[in-house]
Chains A and B, each alone.
Chain A
Amino acid sequence: MISVTGLTKTYGSVCAVNNISFEVAKGEIFGFLGPNGAGKTSTINIMTGLSRPDAGEIELAGIDVRRQPKKAQAIMGIVPDESNLYNEMDGFDNLCFCAALYGMPKSEREGKARRLLEQFRLDDTGKRPFKAFSKGMRRRLTIAAALIHSPQLLFLDEPTTGIDVESSRQIRDLIRELKRQGTTIFLTTHYIEEAERICDRIAFIARGQIVAAGTLPELMASVSHQHAIRFVTAGSTNTPAAELESQFPGSQVSIQADHSIVMTSKQRIPLLPVMKFLHNIGVEVHEARELTPSLEDVFVKLTGIQSSALTEPERKGSTR
């Protein structure tokens, strides 16, 4: 559905997009994860025809965007990083105007606008102008406006940045629903959790380049060649690390400050024998948990960028 090859764009001396290539299949949610200034918006602008690349090819549903931008724009919906509807107009008029830009006849656009306002729970905003909307409402209306002509392909530039947990969750649910209906989705985010939760495939982008791309398991596998288990024990015991290591060859054992035992190994660690061994030497185990690297660890390892450069959303939020 999306095929990008060798995309490059420089602004003066800044190389915003540096030889980027990727493909997105029909019906997939593909996410660009990267810190501020990584080149996410620049890439979207080029793909949507708002900006001209210095080099590279972009094909959307078989249409060459550089040659036929208007034809490509007819099948895409775009949610820019800023909610940019018309301040003076209310929700309904804004949606109808956007529909008209895509040539939808009056009766069709009014029906669709009403349905979208309802779906986005904005139908109670009445005649209130866009400028009087809250941030979350503005974001929702901007997304609704991108869907007015039922595009096959949806671009979302940081759809949930700067809005609350509940609104973000609604937007993510909506993105998943669109995917179920067959829409192909390209989104950018600097929220690791968001990428993890909704994307089928993720590309890490830093300094204008794609550092790694793949499904969540693929990205994880690209760094973790080790198995690790953490055993939580009942307080202070003198756990013989050396004894454990010799009993289970190939493993490394470290004792943490809270007296839990972390065992790492290239092979899978046999849980029951370890537990039995510990039990026999008088160590009471309360909990054993496999330590998997988080996407955050993977990101840091692959890009060399501290994850604090990305902002973590809703740390205490729901875990959907």
Chain B
Amino acid sequence: MKSWIAFWNILKKDVRNYYLKPPNISWGIIFPLSWTLMQLIRSPDGNILELLPGLIAMSILFGTTSMLAVTITFERSGRSFERLLLAPIHLSTMVLAKIAGTILFGTFNAFVPVIFAALFADLRAVNWGALLLTILLIALTSALTGLLIAVSAEQVFEAQTLANFFRFPMLFLCGLFVPIARLPLLLRPLSYCLPLSYGTDLLKGLLTRQNSLSPALCFGMLLFFAATLFLICRHRIQQKWIL
């Protein structure tokens, strides 16, 4: 019960203080929207449904990693983060509370291109339950990746640079816009070491039925990555922040 109160209030505070701030909301809408438009302009006769999986995955990836890199490094440099480390709640509860807000933000980001696409395409055949679950899982793994970056950085600027170092290659490696099968043979194993590849494949299956892996395998891999990243993050936090 006590942990739950702490969890809920950390989440509520982050949502209020960071995610619901006008600059972040507008970034959350404008960024996915402009990428969607850009892709449409580039290939005007392209099917928006085919672009949608990549756009969703990218919106989540950028939304979550940039927010965590900011919220955590920001609180760390202002030292208010020490309050969370000194609170009588388990490190796992604290980490989950911190990424919960980011997951919500990433999910919100993901639905921007979906809503936009709904204006042009027929989405009635989509299994919304499965789509939401997939989006949440992608958001979870991306948020944990963002957390891992945030743990390694001391400054907000540093965290952003580090985040870009990871996410731009991921745009190409994870099948967002170029199918993994068309990547150079050498790069392909790398693709399968990144959780986003599995998430994107699931999205493709759900929206266009053009998945190349089995959905069960993808779910399994996403869960596996989530658990592994969570344990690594917790360990790194203990190493780096409890000096």
**A contacts, CB < 8 Å to B:** 45, 48-52, 70-71, 73-74, 78, 80, 82, 84-89, 97-98, 100-105
Give every chain B residue within 8 A of A104 (Cβ-Cβ): 5
Contact (A78, B80) CB under 8 Å given A100-B6, A101-B9: no
Let me know if B80 and A86 touch, CB within 8 A: yes
Contact (A105, B242) CB under 8 Å given A50-B86, A82-B79, A86-B13: no
**B contacts, CB < 8 Å to A:** 1-3, 5-6, 8-10, 13, 17, 78-80, 82-90, 242-243
A-B pairs with beta carbons under 8 Å apart, 7 shown? A48-B86, A50-B243, A51-B243, A70-B90, A84-B79, A86-B13, A101-B6
Let me know if B83 and A73 touch, CB within 8 A: no
Let me know if A70 and B17 touch, CB within 8 A: no
Give every chain B residue within 8 A of A51 (Cβ-Cβ): 242-243
Contact (A50, B82) CB under 8 Å given A70-B88, A103-B2: yes
How many angstroms from the CA of A88 to the CA of B24 in the assembled complex? 15
The B contact surface, by secondary structure, is helix
Beyond the given A51-B242, A87-B80, please list 17 additional residue pairs across the A-B interface where CB-CB is below 8 A.
A50-B85, A52-B243, A70-B89, A74-B88, A82-B79, A84-B79, A84-B80, A85-B80, A86-B13, A86-B17, A86-B80, A89-B13, A97-B13, A98-B83, A102-B2, A102-B88, A104-B5
How many angstroms from the CA of A101 to the CA of B17 in the assembled complex? 17
The A contact surface, by secondary structure, is loop
Give every chain B residue within 8 A of A89 (Cβ-Cβ): 13, 17
Let me know if A101 and B242 touch, CB within 8 A: no
How many angstroms from the CA of A186 to the CA of B61 in the assembled complex? 46
Residue of A nearest to B238 (CB): A52
Let me know if B9 and A100 touch, CB within 8 A: yes
Give every chain A residue within 8 A of B13 (Cβ-Cβ): 86, 89, 97
Give every chain A residue within 8 A of B2 (Cβ-Cβ): 102-103
How many angstroms from the CA of A86 to the CA of B82 in the assembled complex? 11
Let me know if B242 and A73 touch, CB within 8 A: no
Let me know if B84 and A101 touch, CB within 8 A: yes
Let me know if B5 and A87 touch, CB within 8 A: no
How many angstroms from the CA of A80 to the CA of B85 in the assembled complex? 13
How many angstroms from the CA of A105 to the CA of B9 in the assembled complex? 11
Give every chain A residue within 8 A of B82 (Cβ-Cβ): 50, 80, 84
Let me know if B87 and A102 touch, CB within 8 A: yes
Shortest Cβ distance from residue A54 to the other chain B in the assembled complex, whole angstroms: 11
Shortest Cβ distance from residue A260 to the other chain B in the assembled complex, whole angstroms: 52
Shortest Cβ distance from residue A129 to the other chain B in the assembled complex, whole angstroms: 10
How many angstroms from the CA of A50 to the CA of B238 in the assembled complex? 10
Q: Find B88's partner among A73, A80, A87, A105 (CB 8 Å cutoff).
A: A73
